[in-house]
Chains A and B, each alone.
Chain A
Amino acid sequence: METKASHWLVTGGGRGLGRAVAIAAARDGGEAVVVARTKAELEEVTETIRRGGGVAHAIAADIADKERTHAIAGEAAALMGSIDVLVHAAATLGPVPLEPVLETPCEDLERALMVNVVGPHRLTKAIVPSMLLRGIGVIVHVSSDAAIVAYPEWGAYGASKAAFELMARTMAAEVASSGVRSLIVDPGEMDTQMHEDALPHADRTLLARPADVAEKILAIVRDGRLGPNGARVVLSHVESW
């Protein structure tokens, strides 16, 4: 089933994969609301999209801030009308270098859970019911193999992503047959600032380009056969579609 997705809301859209998804969506004819904390990054990505002839809007917000959830949803709906695709790309590793579980400050775990789980949950609650009513919509949860594999020192991030994924899968079970798809995407290792922060000595030539990963996400969103409701799609296993 092909979905003509036109209105995108992308969190973490100021840099990395979120930025690349917003740019790719706009290039594909979609309209994107980009949410990020840093105004300069927002300006850069929306300007890039506009220069390319696309339509983009910026909302400066921290998705962990409960007071901002309905402002994000309301401003986005005012700008675009109904939202067809919600991409949860915003995430935090927490302070780097990463720490073993036994030495991770409790506050760092709390912050990881706020940004990586609680904030997305709030935004999902504000946006997805409207998709359900209309019987159309895609929620893309950008995750990581750290949600599944116990990498030493990745405890706070991994635990938050595991919770994020289970929430996505549970929601998928709950919205089954509604026309709405809740998907998990594991993009693999990408050449992003987040990767640089976590593993500064990695060989960047071996890392995927966010723009290439974004194209695969676009294909999944457009075509329900590539990413059926509840799927966990590991993009590094996919050459191309």
Chain B
Amino acid sequence: MSPARWLRDHAANDRLLAVHVPLGTRTDARVRDLPALLRPADLVVINDAATLPASIVVRHADERFELRLASRVVDGSAWGVAFGAGNWRTPTELRGIAPRVEEGDALTIDGTGVTGHVVERLHGRLVRVDWEVPTAQLLAAIYAHGRPIQYSHVDRELPLWAVQTPFASRPWGVEMASAGRAIGPSMVSSLRAANISVAWLTHAAGLTSTGDPELDAMLPLAEDFEIPLETVRAVGTARARGGRVIAVGTTVVRALESASETGMPRPGPGTATRKLDSSYCRRVVDGLLTGFHESGSTHLRLLSAFAPAELLTETYRHADREGYLCHELGDVNLILAS
């Protein structure tokens, strides 16, 4: 499938391929058709995380290298993945050998006086850095000197506004929770007018790819989320009315499922650690609006919790044949599992 290489003007006009798993039906549609593809009493849940410009250049001794933040910033501390020579135009797997940083090493955000120390290392390139400034000052430095993380399939440098979803609020994400691009204020009005509820949560969307097979196998890393009480109530109401819970993006699936050991999500903060795949038995989420993902990616693995592998393969074959576009700026796939 070809990737979308740049933003298109109106997300509502993006293509949407709806797959109804129990019925085995498939519908070629547009994002604007979403209300008609759902049912009254359904609940749509979006992720309101804003995206940080999470690619920063750091100095370490005599070296300068790219550090991509890999978690949300908490108390001036965040995980990051070091990258070697090259830039976003270089496919991640072709980047130079990443500099080796050890626990205790001092790093400085280039262009600022913000310094920190490596306090934990999970992998040769994956480190946690405690920055020696308050979170507000660290975020100000990241906003002033960072750039959005992006991959080589995109044509040009993405400005910060291009990686924000319409309801972006707290800057928890290091990459855009891109399925949310499709849902803006007009779509929310249309959904509500069709008696479909809309609720939200915040989930710190992490890295999609590092280019290192060993490190990629560890993705997604643990991701923080927070679920408001209103959203938990909305899930209960939807259930009571016979509606389904539709997650906008894989991040919403991770948050809701991680918070639902007992079958209903609990409100408040949490951390998603579980990797969802075909062996996972969903507790809360009945459907998913998501992009088209690269084969072998963790996103695609998660989809197999909603549909059998053969159906997903056939869906992707159809999407490829019909010219759907993949990746974060591409078209979307609605998978209704019940």
Contact = CB atoms under 8 A, between A and B. Distances in A.
A67 interface: yes
A81 B170 contact: yes
B91 interface: no
A133 B198 contact: yes
Given A74-B139, A75-B136, A130 B52 contact: no
B166 interface: yes
B168 interface: yes
Interface string A70-113: 11011101110110000000000000000000000000000000
B167 A130 contact: yes
A78 B188 CA distance: 24
Interface in B172-229: 184-185, 188, 198, 200
A48 to B, nearest CB: 19
Contacts of B333: none
A52 interface: no
B140 A133 contact: no
Size category of the B interface is: 20 to 34
Contacts of B198: 133
A129 B52 contact: no
B159 A77 contact: no
Contacts of B167: 129-130, 133
B160 A71 contact: yes
Given A129-B184, A132-B185, A132-B188, A74 B171 contact: yes
A66 interface: yes
A79 B136 CA distance: 7
Contacts of A71: 140, 143-144, 160
B136 A130 contact: no
B278 interface: no
A199 to B, nearest CB: 37
Contact of B143 (A75, A129, A130, A133): A75
Interface string B133-146: 00110011001100
A69 B162 CA distance: 12
Contact of A67 (B135, B159, B171): B159
Contacts of A74: 50, 52, 139, 143, 168, 170-171
A57 interface: yes
Given A130-B48, A132-B185, A133-B48, A77 B170 contact: yes
B160 A70 contact: yes
A126 interface: yes
A69 B164 CA distance: 11
A159 to B, nearest CB: 26
A70 B161 contact: yes
A191 to B, nearest CB: 33
Interface in A118-139: 126, 129-130, 132-133
B169 interface: yes
A55 to B, nearest CB: 12
B284 to A, nearest CB: 20
Contacts of A133: 46, 48, 167, 188, 198, 200
B54 to A, nearest CB: 11
A77 to B, nearest CB: 5
A71 B142 CA distance: 9
B184 A78 contact: no
Contacts of B139: 74-75, 78
Contact of B50 (A57, A66, A70, A132): A70
A67 B160 contact: yes
A173 to B, nearest CB: 13
B48 to A, nearest CB: 6
B294 to A, nearest CB: 27
A56 to B, nearest CB: 12
A126 B140 contact: no
A110 to B, nearest CB: 20
B145 to A, nearest CB: 11
A70 B184 CA distance: 17
B135 A78 contact: yes
Contacts of A66: 159, 161
A71 B145 CA distance: 11
12 contacts: A70-B143, A70-B164, A71-B144, A71-B160, A73-B50, A73-B169, A77-B50, A78-B136, A78-B171, A79-B136, A126-B168, A130-B169
The 8 closest A-B pairs by CB, nearest first: A71-B143, A74-B171, A130-B169, A77-B170, A70-B160, A77-B169, A74-B50, A129-B167
Given A70-B164, A73-B169, 16 more contacts: A70-B143, A70-B161, A73-B50, A73-B168, A74-B139, A75-B139, A75-B140, A77-B171, A78-B73, A78-B135, A82-B169, A126-B164, A129-B185, A130-B48, A130-B167, A130-B169
Interface of B: 46, 48, 50, 52, 73, 135-136, 139-140, 143-144, 159-161, 164, 166-171, 184-185, 188, 198, 200
